[in-house]
Amino acid sequence: MMNPVVEENGLIVDRLGRRFRNLRISLTAACNYACTYCVPDGKRLQAAAYELGAQEMIQAVRLLIATAGIDKVRITGGEPLLSPKFGDLLKGIMELGLQDVSLTTNGQLLPRYADDIIASGMKRINVSLDTLNREAFRDIARSGDLNTVLHGIELMQAGGLKVKINMVPMRGVNDDQIIPLLEYSLERGIELRFIELMNMGHLQASPVHGQQFYSMEEILECISGRYAFSRTDAPFDSTAVRYEIPAHGTFGIIANESEPFCKTCTRLRLSSNGDLYGCLSNARSQSIRDLLPLSDEQAIPQLEAILLSALGDKQSDNFSGEVTVMKFIGG
């Protein structure tokens, strides 16, 4: 159901007070992994037939800053470090004066790009890592090398970046890694974020989601056997519920089903081919490719109309999933 939207103080805001502040950019749809929760057949995702160039993406971000007041950008994919335009995009985005620029990566190519990332001035990075067991790592990712990822994390921390790790616990697959990954993270001052298995892509039409889904309650129960913890503060539009373990550190849970964050979601997603998505639970998208060569005077009114529609696509209460593969639209 469309959620009515209005314009307030020059910014597009809906009836729940939500506006687009956080932009996720899918730099490429290609990925060097074929994770079981992302693709069903072990085939790696490939780049889209047409993908925006670095300068086109930078122009898109500039327009979204001017039109929606975007102040945070996360570079995602696919696997963003696979893209040959990563360096140019990173340089251009860092020059736009944003409040925060961050990166989500599987970490496989971090050692190669560590110097560039550190030199850019980026302050934080998220690494997707579902296990510390080498055999399980290969079974889940169906590619890659665990030691390379761990080395990349070390390089990021040595370079002064704040690191978070994203883990998707799955029953019977890697739920035995909840405590080992938490201990690894706490020992290194890393915040581990558990992500409930999302009912998206091929999992929407499969019993696998129900079989492997590991809830926030189960995650907390597992951790409570080892640590005492209490709920702590999180930013109002955070996707994660955060917990503090006294004298050790913090961890978070992105509980898209157990405790949905829809009511406070401020995220907008730009796919690698120039489509804007307002909500993960809505496959509807609108292209902004044709706006990028236009003057601001021509582009901004058209972009405002697109953003009004995209904000109306947001869910009011619960995440319901979609057939869209999250990797295509900037996780």
Number of domains in the chain: 1
What does the alpha-carbon distance between residue 297 and residue 289 come to, in Å, rounded to a whole number? 16
pLDDT at 3: 56
Enumerate the β-bridge partners of residue 25.
75, 270
Question: In terms of residue numbers, what domain contains 101?
Answer: 5-328
Among candidate residues 187, 185, 191, the one with its CA nearest the CA of residue 240: 191
What pLDDT does residue 328 have?
A: 53
Q: Residue ranges of the chain with pLDDT lower than 70?
A: 1-10, 316-331
Do the Cβ atoms of 102 and 331 come closer than 8 Å?
A: no
pLDDT value at position 229? 98
Say what the pLDDT of residue 1 is.
44
CA-nearest of 271, 311, 328, 267 to 60 is 271
Q: What's the CATH number where 230 sits?
A: 3.20.20.70
For Cα atoms 117, 57, 267, give the angle at the middle one, nearest 5 degrees.
85
For residue 200, the model assigns a pLDDT of 78
Q: What are phi and psi of 221, to 5 degrees?
A: -65, -40
Query: b/e string for 238-276 if b means 16 or more Cβ within 10 A?
Result: ebbbbbebeebbbbbbbbbbbebbbeebbbbbbbbbbbb
pLDDT at residue 51, rounded to an integer: 95
